[in-house]
Amino acid sequence: MKTKRRGSSFNSLNSKRQLESIFLFTTGKCNARCAMCFYANDMEKKAEDLSFEEIRKISETAGNFKRLWLSGGEPTLREDLPEIVEMFYRNNHITDLNFPTNGIMGDRIIEWLSRIRKTCPDCNISISISLDGFGRTHDTQRGVASFYRAAGTLKKIGERFRDDGHVITNIATVITKYNVQEILDFVTWVYGRFNVSTHTIEAARGITREDGVKVLTEKSLREIQDRIAPYYLLYARRIGEGMNFIGRGLTKFFYVGLMRAMYNIRAANLEKPAPWNMDCTAGETTLVIDYDGRFRACELREPIGNVKDYGCDVQKIMSSEAMKKETGAIGHGYKANCWCTHGCWIMSSITFNPGKMLSLLVKSNRETKKLSAGRTVETSEELLRELEDKYHVDRALLEEAGGAPGKGVSKGAA
């Protein structure tokens, strides 16, 4: 039986705008060279990472907040990462940890997750592993041979935390020119091969390391999103396993609604900024701290200062003239002048606009139901093997890594 997840990340509604999330770029180092990396230029600066002592001051001045989003660079290359997470749990009573990783350092990830589960027992952990396509496609896009290592990490997480309701595993895929042709097959294969809680797809964003990797239009992104809509009903079912009838229903409503709403907003903003129909709360509820201490309202806007110039004091930073000016520049409602495709901020902003949220979720659930009507998602072993042959996946290596034949989830009717 699964341990119970405390205060689901999908259903937190909040109308009071206060600091809810800190996005902490723990290091500027990375062991991959992704073509679509939007942080490559920042990492090239090779500035020094914030010290533990500086991060301690940030934690001690931030007060209680809900979510710590790790980022980088590759977070697992920061040696004192578990201590940093434990410090935020102790000082700031975080209830949710978002842990994105490229999955290359599998043993370390398992060791650290196990440790954090013991030392931060009430914290929900969403671990998000990047997997961009079948075998060679993934490796080309990531710039390093890491497909089988990431698959192995997914297997180890599945084995170790299968019954732990505090650990949710996501596969994150960025769509580029390299994987766009195979994305629909890949979504099917991921659902069938890995027992993960969810699979998010997104279009490459920001200024990418390699030119010309962004190939999607609003129309083509919407087509992909519509085609994969039935999978979100299935993932909702997976997440709700072990819950009672009401829990399952609420999970489905929030998960399916939020995913579809986020995808709709993203698609509308792909080619040109388009109002989200709600405020973006960047800079009011979120603070982004780069690895070298520069800070921003969100990942896509320019830095507006350095935490070191504020004594690493989060209260001073959030009430600073620089932040006031920045949130003023972002603006509010339809008069706002800043809109983008960034899923983390779309999700966060939805929960801070409860008036809009309910109608948005109802509409998004209806759309997903309509798009899934009469469609069956097939993930038989035969089909999964066909896909592996088609895309030259080395089944022996995959088996060794753990995404092995026999691990598939059989047919699901959406």
Instruction: Note the residues at the interface with ligand SF4 (CB under 6 A).
Output: 30, 32-34, 37, 39, 72-74, 102, 280, 282, 297-298, 300-301, 330, 338-340, 342, 345
33 versus 93: smaller Cβ distance to ligand SF4: 33
Whichever of 330 and 414 has its CB closer to ligand SF4, that residue is 330
CB-wise, 39 or 235, nearer to ligand SF4? 39
Nearer to ligand SF4, 143 or 242 (CB): 143
Question: Please, what is the minimum distance in Å from the beta carbon of residue 1 to ligand SF4?
Answer: 35
Please identify, using beta-carbon distances, which residue of 244 and 337 lies nearer to ligand SF4. 337
Q: How far is the CB of 413 from ligand SF4 (least distance, A)?
A: 35
Q: How far is the CB of 336 from ligand SF4 (least distance, A)?
A: 7
From residue 105, give the alpha-carbon distance in Å to each of 72, 81, 92, 111, 341: 15, 13, 28, 10, 29
Instruction: Supply the minimum distance, in Å, between the C-beta of residue 300 and ligand SF4.
Output: 4
> What is the nearest approach in angstroms of ligand SF4 to the Cβ of residue 338?
3
Q: How far is the CB of 377 from ligand SF4 (least distance, A)?
A: 29
Residue nearer to ligand SF4 on the CB measure, 282 or 314: 282
